[in-house]
Structure 1
């Protein structure tokens, strides 16, 4: 068993592919990239079938167990992706997880995706079961040294020649937003192939990519700055910004505020490693009306889900109208003086 970071996964896969991979964290960019990387290497050695199962209720466990038991002589080597959407705190869930790990099979590579590792999981699964065949990959938003290492890895992988000052500017502007850093690094070689990327190039691409990020829009909402929030949203609309990015970012913010608001004291700084982000969240919590936040937040999440479904079915102008309406609703969720 090994604990590895995203920037080390490719090197590990090139040497050996294990039977189990546990992707831990909430950063969607890292979760998806690492999953795709494992699948890519697995396909090279004959694992062509890919099955994904979301576990959100007890009935979903049967889908996993049936997958293992319904093997036939025509069964193809498969990659089983299990995405846990439920809490791992109850006994039944823990027993089922252990059962999955005990159903080891050389024809199946399992990728388990979790938000976090419980102490029980570490002791009963990682320390006792298939120790040599499990890799745990950190998929939380990297900071400090880990962020530098991840950016260095992406730059080398994409063969980008870039100045340190340009990297510093990119990190400063998109602090904590891995998706944007990844996308910019992805398009740099396309725009300026075989060129030295300088600070000037990064300034230009940031300006063209977007004057604002999803964070700026969300910050304006929870600072109850209706004018600024709508202004930023209009810019996103004009520049044909990916609305799904806004939805994901706002969902994450709402869930964080709901969880922390339920606590008696806002002291869990471990989940907010960045001090600035912690202070911003604490400030937003103080501004929220205790009596109305619950209904408004859950209503907002419901609307976001509806918008996401509409995007996936048919992209239309009404999506942006719904986002504007939601922005106005959330801007009113303020503590009355």
Structure 2
């Protein structure tokens, strides 16, 4: 079994089995396009795509494998699970599929994620020796600079380090727009080292964020990033009430952690409220910076905003969310 990033796919094109993990549309499209082209060049002229859901006719998938033996064609089968998670029924279907695969069949499976427990399934173990797992998850804020550097290296482009930071800021979460602006820069400034000013003159703010990016930025006390994310969420017409609900859950969790840590260790508090290991350092830093009084003040302000939400204009709602954000980070404490 080999694990690679989607940008490394061209170095691992010799296997018959591929598992694309992650839902980034650009990385999924890029990896799948490279694989389809390569298999086509190898004589896999019949390429079948099956969208997997509760209505999928698995007998048609099995029949396509059996038809292969009759006509001696090379066939590529692509199973697209979309947003559907693996369950017991689907795992059973995949187990059966793994039993009818022949050397004339290539298989690509696209999944949002797979758990450690699911990796113990018969189909996974049966394919493991020849399986290439391709990471198609959108790079996070820490991974994105290196991803851009790798992409620029492939394109044989030279860009100032500060320009890479600018690209990260404006295109986080949107690799499609990011790769498009890089192509545009390549056309505008061929055979030149691209400067910060040249990037700045051509960019649009195309970053794509979820409410959870906003929460993480606030907990990390990254005020500039938090303001940028909130601005983008507003531009993308996210419902303010959704933000308030997510914020409320986070705030109550932190209040409970703070209260629990007064009687027990932080580790015990984290264990009690099932905080992920990779978030514990972030929460520890926040809890050390803020007192319980400010947390309750923020909760009271959130309640006040929610009560008045039916009467406030859209502009005032976003102004209130911005003020609430600052309160949460301790930047305008009452």
CA distance in 1: counterparts of 2:16 and 2:278, whole angstroms: 30
Trace 1:1-337 onto structure 2 (pairs within 5 A).
1-13=1-13, 17-71=14-68, 73-74=70-71, 76-85=73-82, 86-89=84-87, 91-125=88-122, 128-143=125-140, 146-206=143-203, 210-211=204-205, 213-215=207-209, 232=235
Contact 1:53 1:63 in 2 (8 A): no
Segments of 5+ residues of structure 2 without an aligned counterpart are 215-225, 254-272, 287-298, 307-313, 322-334
Q: Deviations over 1:231-276 (max 9, x none)?
A: 957xxxxxxxxxxxx9xxx79xx8xx99x98xx9796768999x79
**Is the 2:19–2:134 contact (alpha carbons within 8 Å) kept by the matching residues of 1?**
yes
Tell me, in whole angstroms, the C-alpha distance in 2 between the residues paired with 1:115 and 1:125.
19
Deviation at 1:192, TM superposition (A): 1.9
SS in 2 for 1:129: helix
Give structure 1 stretches of 5+ with no counterpart. 234-245, 290-326
1:147 shift after superposition: 2.9
C-alpha distance 102-74 of structure 1, shift in aligned 2 (>3 A): closer
TM-score normalized with structure 1 length = 0.61
Contact 1:24-1:113 at 8 Å conserved across structures: yes
- Please give the TM-score of this superposition, normalised by the length of structure 2: 0.62
**Conserved 8 A contact 2:4-2:135:** yes
Residues 126 and 134 in structure 1, CA contact (< 8 A), matched pair in contact too: no
Change in 2 beyond 3 A, CA 1:101/1:216? closer
- Cα deviation, residue 175, structure 1: 2.5
Query: What is the number of equivalent residue pairs in this alignment?
Result: 261
Contact kept? 1:7, 1:149, Cα under 8 Å? no
SS in 2 for 1:57: coil
